[in-house]
Amino acid sequence: MPVIKLNISGQVQGVGYRYWFAEQAQALGLKGNVQNLSTGEVEAVIVGTDSQLSEMIARSWQGPARATVQAIIQEYLKSDLDVQDFRILR
């Protein structure tokens, strides 16, 4: 399955973005993880079908009520990532 790393910037820390992202990812049946970075960005690695990934990227622009997403950088990764669920790392 395809694997994408997203770096999401804007007002995305301290607003519940990681928890919101995890809820959305789980609802779509995605695997992977999400975490805060020291740069103020949120990084997510998501594994799923092309349609699941496209939908999650579209939802990522919305975020929870207090979030403001300014940019999302996408990077395709090796597709042999072995993950069993979706986790919030930190």
Q: Which residues are catalytic?
A: 18, 36
Q: Shortest CA distance to 86 belongs to which of 4, 39, 21, 40?
A: 21
Q: Is 67 exposed, middle or buried (0-12, 13-18, 19+ CB in 10 A)?
A: buried
